[in-house]
């Protein structure tokens, strides 16, 4: 009997242990179900204003900065620098994304990664890039294995025109489809169009871009996000590369023949987003005549970047597509670009280094074949472009552009793409430029671009080419705070005495194309055009124009000089 009781007791013990184990497991399960969120839930991704509003609104400055702070709380792959302080006092954030984030650009010297810079909201009524670039930053760095960061350091300025962004109203850009709660304005806090400031550098935003992005980080590629309107078509994404032929043309050829066709294909096949080269019909009454982008002047920042021997993409999202389609199209376009850069990093870096090397070598001993174009001829590319459009009704107006209305019937246009700006008239590329009486404003403007500027340490007599102005005209209408100049004149060789302290700007430097664009008298976008030399061109008491106060030194000469900082 005692034995039986013992067996029963042991059986009861096993049963109680089993019940206890089940009970304890349930307690643990309940405990963890109500405990603080796990790591995976704390990394729940933040949403942009566009996403949270179901694509009816865009973010304000505080929304952008709060979004960035939330990303910083979740990752060590992001550091924030200040690109500039806007005219109205807002710090414009620059996101530096890397694994690891480089402590400074110097840390990249033996690193092997390339730098890519994405810029959005330069026109604050064109907000798709702002929302898309924040989404791209988030979706790269919050992945378990971040995308692209083994090959790239990614810089993003999501709200480049912070002041214009804060003037959000439903009354702005009423021609585009959404967001219904409104967008900002085109101009910055100085009433300037920042995408017309690539040469004159009069805004703190573009000065900050040059000083704190281009000169500091030297990105191999700039992507500038906009929103277009004008011609009707189905493709939500359009793009174009740097167009100015005074830059290294190998970069232009690479962009239009290799990089952008590959990116276009990837965007279409992987993300199901259609894209075409940016442009408008040249003649709405005769669309088959052709398709063309804006001009090649470096006042437009992507053209300016091309002069600096770097790659650049102008992204124009299609205003007549709905807002969500535009944001997502831009998002996938940026991912496609980053994917291309990651896959082709070594080739891109080598391409830009070769461009720098060739530019320096040309300036050391310019030949007769080295020229600077002062007039262009616009020609079509070899391959035509396909535009998925509509039949259109054109209604003339007494003044301004005709009003164009699309009909209900779709039409595909296969037409020439006029985007090849070919030199029509040129001048010889000089060894250096000499400015004997430069004002501090001129010196400062040259230094703002990051140019090597020197001054002579003794007087010297040199044979130089001067430009005798025969006619100078200012534009009748104010443009970006200037009455733009146009000049006519002739070049003369002369022997001239230059005093000690004369500015000497060599073309044997990587930014020689920028040097020439700023200082050539017949440059279509130089400092003469933008009125910086006005006080020298017409004397106070006489009406006739004077000699342009910048002289071209055509042949190498060894001079005693020192750098200006």
Q: DSSP string spanning 392-406?
A: EEEE--SSSSPEEEE
Average pLDDT over residues 124-146: 96
**Which pLDDT tens digit goes with each residue over 490-519?**
999 999 999 999 999 999 999 999 999 999
**Which pLDDT tens digit goes with each residue over 348-380?**
999 999 999 999 999 999 999 999 999 999 999
**Which pLDDT tens digit goes with each residue over 376-390?**
999 999 999 999 999
Query: Looking at residue 537, what is its pLDDT?
Result: 85
State yes or no: pLDDT of 37 exceeds 60. Answer: no
Which pLDDT band holds residue 215 (cuts at 50, 70, 90)? very high
> Cα separations (Å) of 227 from 96, 179, 190, 322, 425?
25, 13, 21, 12, 33
Q: Would residue 386 be called left, alpha or beta, if left means φ above 0 and alpha means ψ between -120 and 50 degrees?
A: beta
Average pLDDT over residues 188-192: 98
Helix (H) or strand (E) holding 350, with range, is helix 345-364
Query: Looking at residue 524, what is its pLDDT?
Result: 97
| Higher-confidence position of 515 and 144 | 515
Per the confidence metrics, is the pTM higher than 0.95?
Answer: no
Q: Name the DSSP letter for residue 45.
A: P
Q: According to the 3-state scheme, what is the secondary structure of 223-245? A: EEEEEECCCCCCCCEEEEECCCC
State yes or no: pLDDT of 9 exceeds 50. Answer: no
Average pLDDT over residues 74-91: 97
Closest residue by Cα to residue 549 from 487, 476, 473: 487
Closest residue by Cα to residue 392 from 279, 287, 317: 287
State yes or no: pLDDT of 25 exceeds 80. Answer: no
Query: Which domains are seen in the chain, by residue range?
Result: 49-363+376-421 (3.40.630.10), 429-563 (no CATH)
**Which pLDDT tens digit goes with each residue over 435-473?**
998 899 999 999 999 999 999 999 999 999 999 999 999
CB under 8 Å to 103, separation ≥6 — which residues?
A: none
State yes or no: pLDDT of 433 exceeds 90. Answer: yes
| Higher-confidence position of 227 and 11 | 227
| Higher-confidence position of 60 and 4 | 60
**Which pLDDT tens digit goes with each residue over 414-428?**
999 999 999 999 999
**Which pLDDT tens digit goes with each residue over 295-349?**
999 999 999 999 999 999 999 999 999 999 999 999 999 999 999 999 999 999 9
Tokens of 163: 């002041």
């Amino acid at each position: 009997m005692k034995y039986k009781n013992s067996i029963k007791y042991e059986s009861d013990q096993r049963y109680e242990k089993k019940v206890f184990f089940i009970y304890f497991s349930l307690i643990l399960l309940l405990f963890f179900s109500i405990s603080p969120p796990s790591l995976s839930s704390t990394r729940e991704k933040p949403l942009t204003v566009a996403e949270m509003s179901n694509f009816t609104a865009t973010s304000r400055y505080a929304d952008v900065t709060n979004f960035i702070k939330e990303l910083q709380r979740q990752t060590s792959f992001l550091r924030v620098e200040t690109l500039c302080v806007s005219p109205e006092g807002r710090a414009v954030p620059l996101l530096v994304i890397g694994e690891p984030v480089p402590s400074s650009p110097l840390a990249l010297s033996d690193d092997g990664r390339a730098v890519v810079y994405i810029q959005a909201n330069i026109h604050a009524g064109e907000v798709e890039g702002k929302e898309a670039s924040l989404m791209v930053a988030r979706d790269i760095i919050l992945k378990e294995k971040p995308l692209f960061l083994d090959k790239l350091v990614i810089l993003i300025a999501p709200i480049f025109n912070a002041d214009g962004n804060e003037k959000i109203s439903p009354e702005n850009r009423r021609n585009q489809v959404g967001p219904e709660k409104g967008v900002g304005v085109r101009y910055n806090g100085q009433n300037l169009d920042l995408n017309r400031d690539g040469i004159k550098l009069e805004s703190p935003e573009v000065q900050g871009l040059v000083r704190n992005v281009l000169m500091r980080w030297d990105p191999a590629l700039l992507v500038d996000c906009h929103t277009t309107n004008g011609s009707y078509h189905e493709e939500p994404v359009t793009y174009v590369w740097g167009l100015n032929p005074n830059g290294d043309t190998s970069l232009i050829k690479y962009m239009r023949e290799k990089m952008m066709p590959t990116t276009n294909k990837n965007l279409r096949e992987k993300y199901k987003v259609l894209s075409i080269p940016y442009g408008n019909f040249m003649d709405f009454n005769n669309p088959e005549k052709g398709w063309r982008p804006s001009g090649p002047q470096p006042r437009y920042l992507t053209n300016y970047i091309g002069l600096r021997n770097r790659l650049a993409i102008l992204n124009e999202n299609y205003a007549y597509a709905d807002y969500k389609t535009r944001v997502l199209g831009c998002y996938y376009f940026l991912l496609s670009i980053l994917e291309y850069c990651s896959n082709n990093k070594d080739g891109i870096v080598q391409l830009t280094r070769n461009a720098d090397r060739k530019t320096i070598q040309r300036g050391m001993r310019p030949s007769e074949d080295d020229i600077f174009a002062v007039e262009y001829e616009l020609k079509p590319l070899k391959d035509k472009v396909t535009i998925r459009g509509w039949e259109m009704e054109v209604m003339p107006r007494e003044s301004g552009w005709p009003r164009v209305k699309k009909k209900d019937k779709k039409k595909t246009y296969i037409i020439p793409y006029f985007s090849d700006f070919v030199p029509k008239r040129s001048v010889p590329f000089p060894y250096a430029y000499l400015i004997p009486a430069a004002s501090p404003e001129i010196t400062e403007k040259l230094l703002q671009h990051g140019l090597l500027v020197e001054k002579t340490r003794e007087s010297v007599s040199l044979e130089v080419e001067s430009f005798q102005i025969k006619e100078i005209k200012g534009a009748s209408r104010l443009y970006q705070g200037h009455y733009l100049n146009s000049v006519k004149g002739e070049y003369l060789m002369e022997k001239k005495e230059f005093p000690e302290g004369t500015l000497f700007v060599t073309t044997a430097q990587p930014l020689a194309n920028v040097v020439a664009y700023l200082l050539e008298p017949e440059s279509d976008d130089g400092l003469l055009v933008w009125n910086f030399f006005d006080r020298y061109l017409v004397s106070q008491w006489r009406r006739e124009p004077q000699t342009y106060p910048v002289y071209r030194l055509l042949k190498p000469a060894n001079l005693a000089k020192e750098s200006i900082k």
